[in-house]
Amino acid sequence: MSLLHPALARPGLRFFLGTVALVSIAATQAAAQTDSALAQRLDSIAGHWVQRNYAVGIVAAVVKGDETLLHKSYGRADVEWDVPMPLDAMFVIGSVTKQFTGAAVLQLRDEGKLSLDDDITEWLPDFDTHGHAVTLRHLLAHTAGIGDFTEAREFGSLSTNIRFPRDSAYALQQRQPPQFAPGGMQIYNNAGFWLLGLVIEKASGMTYEDYIEQHIFEPLGMTRSMYCHSEENIPRRAHGYFVTRDSVIRRAWTIWHTWPFAAGSLCSSVGDMVTWLQALHGGRVLSPASYTEFIAPGRLNDGTPLRYGMGLQVGPDPSGLMYIGHGGRAPGFWVEVGWYPEAQMGVVVMINNVGPLDPQEVVTNLANEVLGRTPPPPKRFTGDPAPLVGRYVGPGRGEEMVVEVTETPQGPAFSIDGRPSRPIPWIEGLTFGAGLPRFIFRRANGDSGEVTELRFSMPGAHMILRRQ
């Protein structure tokens, strides 16, 4: 007796259904092979740099939607003892800390404990603004114009030789003159986020460390994240190194986290950073309105859009894909944590050395591989470079920035702060750039006036240099 419905018992239909089943199985196998091939290519991209001795150790992850395409470790966590890099190794994440600081400020704003338009002196009454109105919003966008104690000449020896105490850091900051009027330009500024850490403590009534632990790490289950404590023994913590271009490895010095504070003193793992990305961009950290504000590009007073939100790079990555993320660097550590919103994809790369390899390069290559994107070839300038030639000078990060523009057969060439001159690919109009940096010439009177300024733009920087 047949167990099939009478209509299904016909030979022709059975053959058809069998064919469909075989096609379905073949499609599933092809998809699995495709996934496997992609995983192998991602593995090759991430591990390549350890094989070339450009990196001591790497942990990398790529997640797209609910799928983990890569999560793997390479190289060593400790060179002297030849310890393999654990998958959940803990790294100093440096300036990636800034997005946690920014998120904490917005959480406190949503609780009614502060306003982004509060003047810094409402929280730090003795802070010398030199007569300027410096708001928390300015600090979050690096547009406050305040000096930066981490760029001061005496800072280097103080920060590496002793446990540089917070009150000494504050006193050093108080001695720094302003660089520009708030909102006039953008210069990346560690001190601004350092000051925001003090505001978080005053507004919340908690230490910065406790606030981040209790309001972000614990609720999200980020068990491999913490405020860095150099003196503690942390299981599976990677050691930091420096690597030269000829592959010489030197152990990095210990950085004491009494001073980096809210600008760069968090430690984490790749797995926890994936958790953070999915939670932040999945609506589990901020209210919808605050999230929108958090990732919105800031603007200068003249309306110029920036490529930075409130502790996050916002804009195209080096190959042109829309990107929300941030890098972090500390002695011996270099990391990049980013989100591709159009693909709902997170990419994290952590390296336990500073050297020839920038982790953003690895992140970009991994993203391009997943999304099947080939960066467009560079364009050559077809206009007349003569009107652009000249010397441009203005405030830079910690010191004056000088760009000399000369004319070459390949178009205008740029020498930055005395470094060798080289042509830079043309983008459009009077904008040149390769990767993230952009050089934008401005005329005095619209399209026909003389070129009077050069703007140097990066995520976190929009410097205005005047022609001399």
Same domain, 102 and 229: yes
CA distance 335 to 359: 6
Model confidence at 398, pLDDT cuts 50, 70, 90, reads: confident
139: its two tokens: 């600090």
Mean pLDDT, the chain, whole residue set: 91
Same domain, 360 and 445: no
CA distance 82 to 85: 9
- At residue 162, the pLDDT reads 64
Model confidence at 378, pLDDT cuts 50, 70, 90, reads: confident
**Res 34 pLDDT > 90:** no
> Cβ(52)–Cβ(45) under 8 Å?
no
Model confidence at 160, pLDDT cuts 50, 70, 90, reads: low
- Mean pLDDT calculated for residue range 390-411: 94
- At residue 255, the pLDDT reads 83
- Mean pLDDT calculated for residue range 364-370: 97
- What are the tens digits of pLDDT across the range 177-210? 999 999 999 999 999 999 999 999 999 999 999 9
Same domain, 308 and 222: yes
Contacts of 183 (CB under 8 A, 6+ apart): 138, 143, 145, 300, 301
Same domain, 367 and 390: no
Q: What are phi and psi of 171, to 5 degrees?
A: -65, -40
Establish if 412 belongs to a structural domain: yes
Domain that holds residue 426: 386-467
Looking at 311, 344, 371, the residue that finishes a domain is 371
Same domain, 205 and 262: yes
Q: What are phi and psi of 219, to 5 degrees?
A: -60, -30
**Res 431 pLDDT > 90:** yes
Same domain, 402 and 258: no
196: helix, strand or coil: helix
Nearest to 328 by CA among 56, 55, 92: 92
61: its two tokens: 């992850």
- Mean pLDDT calculated for residue range 408-416: 93
**Res 9 pLDDT > 70:** no
Same domain, 364 and 391: no
Establish if 41 belongs to a structural domain: no
319: helix, strand or coil: coil
416: helix, strand or coil: strand
Establish if 179 belongs to a structural domain: yes
- At residue 39, the pLDDT reads 95
Establish if 242 belongs to a structural domain: yes
> Cβ(8)–Cβ(14) under 8 Å?
yes
CA distance 12 to 242: 70
- At residue 389, the pLDDT reads 97
Same domain, 144 and 285: yes
Q: DSSP characters for 242-306?
A: EE-TT--EEEPPPPPTTSSGGGT-EEE-HHHHHHHHHHHTTTSSS-HHHHHHHTS--B-TT--B-
Looking at 339, 371, 403, the residue that finishes a domain is 371
Same domain, 285 and 222: yes
Establish if 168 belongs to a structural domain: yes
Q: Identify the CATH number of the domain in which residue 456 sits.
A: 2.40.128
Same domain, 335 and 392: no
- What are the tens digits of pLDDT across the range 90-129? 999 999 999 999 999 999 999 999 999 999 999 999 999 9
Same domain, 206 and 257: yes
Establish if 158 belongs to a structural domain: yes
Domain count, the chain: 2
Q: Flag the least confident range among 26-30, 294-298, 400-404, 434-438.
A: 26-30
Establish if 253 belongs to a structural domain: yes
How large is the C-alpha radius of gyration of the chain?
Answer: 25
Establish if 6 belongs to a structural domain: no
Q: Identify the CATH number of the domain in which residue 243 sits.
A: 3.40.710.10
Using a 10 angstrom Cβ sphere, with 0-12 exposed, 13-18 middle and 19 or more buried, the burial of residue 287 is middle
- At residue 19, the pLDDT reads 36
- What are the tens digits of pLDDT across the range 210-220? 999 999 999 99
CA distance 170 to 149: 8
Model confidence at 376, pLDDT cuts 50, 70, 90, reads: confident
* Torsion sign over Cα 423, 335, 317, 109: negative
- At residue 163, the pLDDT reads 75
Looking at 307, 336, 371, the residue that finishes a domain is 371
Residue in the structure block whose two tokens are 């960066």 = 375
- Mean pLDDT calculated for residue range 3-9: 33
**Res 1 pLDDT > 50:** no
The β-bridge relationship of strands 451-458 and 438-443 is antiparallel
Same domain, 146 and 274: yes
